[in-house]
Structure 1
Amino acid sequence: MQSLIGISAENREVVAHQLAKLLADEFVLYTKTLNAHWNLEGMDFHSVHLYFEELYKQSAEIVDSVAERIRQLDHYAPATLKNFLQLTHLTEQDESGNDSRSQIKKLLGDHESIIEFIRGNIDEFADAHKDAGTSDFITGLMETHEKIAWMLRAHLK
């Protein structure tokens, strides 16, 4: 059945492709946050371990919401690790530093990278591709990542 939501098929395809990249970034970040949670060591283990648990749960919700937005545009979300690694802007977790400071720095860098990617698409989605809904959706995601980045930065001061 043809999608009649006021956005051309061509524009939906472009937006869905950019969202697929965002989904890959979000899934890689989710995995890296799990790694930080599972492998954390140090004197502040308990409190940071619990904080990382909050982050990975929030990240899982973000992953699901991005995949569902792709489906709302009548496209299929990539759903294999191979696809995610091909699409992501992020790098896989290196094995250095399981202390909280090292893990927080890694996660902060990834959140900031996602913020930049999202910011670069907000106006393009709304203006060039006539998709105000997805523009608004990713603006909300950006605000979520900005808050997380602020909190991660606060741990490093």
Structure 2
Amino acid sequence: MSAYQTIVVGTDGSATSFAAVERAARVAADAGSTLVIVSAYTPASREDTAEAEDVLKDEAYLVTGWTPAEEALREAADRAAAAGAQKVSTHAEDGAPVDVLRKAVRDHRADLLVVGNRGLNTLSGRLLGSVPSDATRRAGVDVLVVHTT
């Protein structure tokens, strides 16, 4: 039996987050674990979607029922599969990144959280906190911080 049964990793669609996804996928592949890829987002306001619908006219249906997180998750899942992960699920959640990651860890009973190091060594990260440092402190499970920058 593997040390890690379920691994959670987050993505925001950035190159650095995809590097963390790929590393998490390789760990999941090696361990035979389930990989859960999550993306935090804030839904667009009705004013924002109404404006987009006005611009898109006949293609306004593209605005309804879609979040930018979904495209990031599709690409992340493709990259995870290419890196060897066999069991992959994706989830978009409304909320702050660290809260969404912690919720995914709880909901999926994960035993490993993978995050990239972006923001960890920046001045704003030191003063205001960063996703990797906050996630590491608050995860409640093992955390793998991947060097992505």
TM-score by length of 2: 0.31
TM-score by length of 1: 0.30
- Structure number with higher helix proportion: 1
- Structure number with higher strand proportion: 2
